[in-house]
Amino acid sequence: MITRLSRTTTAEVQRRMLEIRDEGGVVALGRVLTLVVHTQIGAEEEAIRAANAASREHPMRVLVVSRNPDHVSAREEPRLDAELRVGADAGASEVVLLQCYGEIGSHLLGIVQGLLLPDAPVVAWWPSFMPDRPSGSQLGQIAQRRITDSGKQKDSHGAILSLAACYAPGDTDLAWTRLTNWRGHLAALLDQPPFEEVRGGVVSGDLENPSVHLMAAWLELRLGVPIEKVEAGDAPVGSSGLHAVQLQRETGESSLTRVRDSVGVLVQPGQPSHHVALSTRGLEDQLAEELRKLDADDMYRQVLLFTLGQR
């Protein structure tokens, strides 16, 4: 069910939510968190679809706050339009879309504060743009977890360096999340014979993608050896921007290479090569993974700071 409110207030939104709950029996019991999404007007649906899918694993209240860019909103008449979605239109969550026009968009904290679930963690997510300092932004200040996506920025590598310079516990970025499958396969590779030290390595991929730089930093940090980054050219890459990782060892080269969108080939010296699942994960899977852990990601912090030190 979708209920639309024009030129409304947050108090009216809250009152209408209570009415819908009383009328239809939709309750907040079982909601484990509030996800606050900050995006632009007209770009909300992709984030809502991802949140709805992730809510099947993490039942939650989703508050989507959208506004136009500053140069546009400065000319707009102040008003708040809202849309309430429950039931089949909201997955296992309840979705509140708040479209802010004009000066109202400057007061995001006041808009969402009365709509947060009581005594539940708050996660802030910026699916397209990101603030200069996530933890210092209005929404970041009330969130235990803050999710950005440096890969969506015009200067994605610069965005990673900016995140490193202002890191605070609870920050994370989807460029790091996209490496989970790669990191798991590489860790398993090094946990199998031959048990030899790695002498160096090469990460190839789309060098405009921040995940490539994070992968190289993670390997160099964990293995203590130089890792070279090279452009993959026309080789197939997924959302992580990675094509292959080669690690030099005494008896030869161990490698993981993407050969198709969802398939990689794992090679070990003296062993037959074999295919592994290396799927390109959708936005809903990436978001669901980040919602599983609400504590600080210390490995992400170490890799970020290591990347900043390499600048």
pLDDT given at position 193? 82
Is the separation of the CB atoms in 164 and 304 below 8 Å?
A: yes
pLDDT given at position 233? 84
Give dist(CA 173, CA 186) in Å, integer.
20
Encoding tokens for residue 137?
A: 């932004």
Q: What is the pLDDT along the chain (311 residues), one digit of tens a residue?
A: 889 999 999 999 999 988 887 776 555 456 889 999 999 999 999 999 999 999 988 899 999 999 998 868 888 899 999 999 987 766 667 899 999 999 999 999 999 999 999 999 999 999 999 999 999 999 999 999 999 999 999 999 899 999 999 999 999 999 999 999 999 999 999 988 888 999 999 999 999 999 999 999 999 999 999 999 999 988 888 888 999 999 999 999 999 999 988 899 999 988 899 999 998 889 999 999 999 989 999 999 999 999 887 65
Encoding tokens for residue 209?
A: 């993608």
Encoding tokens for residue 223?
A: 């293995």
Query: pTM score, two decimals?
Result: 0.93
φ, ψ for residue 274, nearest 5 deg: -145, 155
Is the separation of the CB atoms in 51 and 62 below 8 Å?
A: yes
The structure tokens 């409110």 sit at 5
Q: Within a 13 Å sphere around the CA of 78, how many CA atoms are in the beta-carbon half?
A: 6
pLDDT given at position 229? 96
Q: Return the number of other C-beta atoms located less than 10 Å from residue 74's C-beta.
A: 12
Give dist(CA 278, CA 265) in Å, integer.
9
pLDDT given at position 279? 84
Give dist(CA 89, CA 55) in Å, integer.
12
- Collect all residues with Cβ–Cβ distance below 8 Å to 162 and sequence separation of at least 6: 132
Strand pairing partners for 171?
Answer: 146
The structure tokens 């008449």 sit at 77
Categorise residue 42: left if φ over 0, alpha if ψ from -120 to 50, beta otherwise: left
Rounded to 5°, the CA angle 74-153-284 comes to 100
Axis crossing angle, helix 180-190 with helix 210-223, rounded to the nearest 10: 30
φ, ψ for residue 227, nearest 5 deg: -125, 125
